[in-house]
Each structure stands twice: as structure tokens, then as C-alpha cells.
Amino acid sequence: MTKRVVLIGHPVAHSLSGAMQQAALDAAGIDAIYEVWDRSPLALPAAVAEVRGDDFLGANVTIPHKERVVPLVDRLTEEAQATGAVNTITREGRRLVGHNTDVAGFEIALDRLVGRQKMPKQAVLLGAGGGARAVTYALIRAGFQRIVIFNRHLHRAEGLVKHFARSAAHMDLKAMPWHESIIESELTRTKLLVNATSIGLARDETPVRGEILPGDLLVLDLIYDQTRFLRDARAAGNTVSDGETMLLHQGAAAFKLWTGQEAPLEVMTTALSAARAGGVRSAEGEPAGEEPAGEADQATAASGVG
Ligand code: NDP
């Protein structure tokens, strides 16, 4: 029987994950099809229930469902529990397990960016969505002592800080209002700057003006593109990295969970490049559309995080 893996998102027409995972399945000789399902939040429970079927190896979950899917699975791994977000589902019989491979993907991206330098201890994080949760957890695990989170809607950043209160009890994790002067001041006290907002994804926009970027930072944009933010940061002399490594390695970790096999990284990298050259954007990167204010917060509350 041909097996199935499905990416559930909304909207999610074409995706880099689809190209990358199908190429990996084919290269590994696994008879499986990677499908893409566009499901609204209301249709999510039925979609997740379908993944319990014998023909499924598992699923990926992306914007805007990563937090909403938490109460719909039977068990969470440590990363999924800690972040309150699930991007990968596997089956144990008819039971579903929620994983968060964005954490591992970010950890590899961070290690590559830091290289031979000492792991920094201070970070500024822009954004407070699902991606930011994976970043925050990875930074706490990496021993960061100070993480300052800026978000357009301050209450969401405050919710994130509250969510991690226990695991960050030994360090300084705080939310601050999005004012350029405050961001500028924090940047003088940090070593790592991460963009986990979707600013720069659909348009050539940047979350922070190049003028306020110092020249001695490690800068990572989760967006899989040479964004204006990264171009400005590089021009100012900073060491920069885009979201490709994270996307590749969260996908590789998911592949291993579904198949039990090591992911063919080179094949996946080539498929990513080809898909991008053909104009496909990341499902991670599709704008989630305008959600009614508060819906995301309700989903967070429903997921039992905090
Ligand atoms: P969410 O929808 O959960 O969060 C989006 C974030 O962007 C929020 O912090 C939101 O702020 C902010 N934002 C969006 N538009 C604006 C705007 N116009 N002005 C200010 N802030 C804005 O998405 P994710 O966290 O899942 O993803 C965020 C980004 O990270 C995406 O670009 C995605 O591509 C990338 N990503 C990449 C991954 C990879 O593997 N490379 C993995 C995961 C994510 P607010 O809360 O105020 O609305």
C-alpha cells in the first residue's frame, strides 16, 4: 500500500516542504506520497483524526495550526510539550504523537552560525509566534542567560515569557514593547539577533532599520530567503544566516521520525533549491491571512500552555 504523509496548513497550496520531502521519500525508495492539505482551523480536528489511519506515516503541521494541534494528539514529546507547538505528527498504532522538530532545526542553524566562537549568552528575539517558541526553547537549552523578546502585540510576547517561566527561572527572559529606541538599546547589549517575525517574507520589508544594527552581531532570519533584514545586517558587518538550515533540518528530523531512516540531506537540499528556483515558497512562509484578533491566543490557551 502506498503510504501517505500530509502537510496541514492554511493557506498552503505549494510548499518547499512538499518538494523536499517527496524527493527524500523517492530517494530512500519509500513508497509514499507527501500531500498538502489546506484546512481551516474549523476543519483541523477532522484532518488530524484522518492521520490516525493505517495508510499514514505521519504529518507536518504549519501556520496557523502549530499551537492549535496540541490538544488534538495523544502524546507530546519534550520539545512539543515545552514549546506548546507541534510541527510533526507520528503514529503509534492509532495514537498520535506530537513532535516539534523546529527546535532541532534551529539548534543546528545556531551551531552553524556560531561556528567556532563561544556560544553567546544574550539574545534579542523579534517575534512571538510558533517559530519564536522553538527559538526560545532552543536558546534556553543552549544556556543563554538573557533573552529579550520584542513583538508587535506585546501581550503575545508576554504570554511566551509566561509560558517559559519555569524553564527560564534561572535566567533573564523578558518581553519588551516594540519601540525602535528600546530595540536599539537592547542590541548594544546582545550578541545574537533572531528574526522570527514574518516581516520580509511576502514583501521586501525589514523588522528593524539597518541604521540601528551594530556591526558585531550574529544575525539569523528564520525566513528562507535573503531578506532585506539580512542584507542590511550583512552590509553593517554582522555575520548572517537565513532559514534554510533550519528548514532543512526540521524536515530531516521529521523524515527520520516517519521512516526510521536517516534523511538524504543532499537530495533534500537540491530539491529545496530547485523548488525555490521554480518560485515555490515555504509553507512556513505563507502568510497566515488575517485572523480575527485573539484567535491565536484562544488557541494557545486551549492548548494548555502557559
Ligand atoms: P506566526 O504566525 O506564529 O507568527 C508570526 C510573527 O510575525 C508574530 O510574531 C507576528 O507578530 C509577526 N508579524 C507578522 N506580521 C507582522 C507585521 N506586519 N509587523 C510586525 N510583526 C508581524 O508564524 P511563525 O512563528 O510560525 O513563523 C514566523 C516566521 O518564521 C515565518 O516567516 C516563517 O517563515 C519562519 N519560520 C521558519 C522556519 C524554518 O524552518 N526556517 C520554521 C518556523 C518558522 P504579532 O504576534 O504581533 O502578530
What is the tens place of the pLDDT at every residue in 16-74?
A: 999 999 999 999 999 999 999 999 999 999 999 999 999 999 999 998 999 999 999 99
For the whole prediction, is pTM greater than 0.85?
yes
pLDDT in tens, 155-179: 999 999 999 999 999 999 999 999 9
Distance set, CA 206 to CA 65, 87, 123 (Å): 25, 26, 18
- Residue 67 Cα: closest atom of ligand 1: 3
Residue nearest to atom 13 of ligand 1 (CA): 197
CA atoms within 13 A on the CB side of 96: 26
Residue nearest to atom 6 of ligand 1 (CA): 197
**Which cell numbers in the block locate residue 89?**
505528527
Catalytic residue, candidates 3, 66, 121, 191: 66
> Is 66 tagged catalytic?
yes
Cβ partners under 8 Å of residue 190, min gap 6: 120, 122, 123, 124, 146, 148, 217
Helix axes 130-141, 101-114, angle to 10 degrees: 60
Give me the residues paired with residue 146 across strands: 122, 172
pLDDT of residue 277: 86
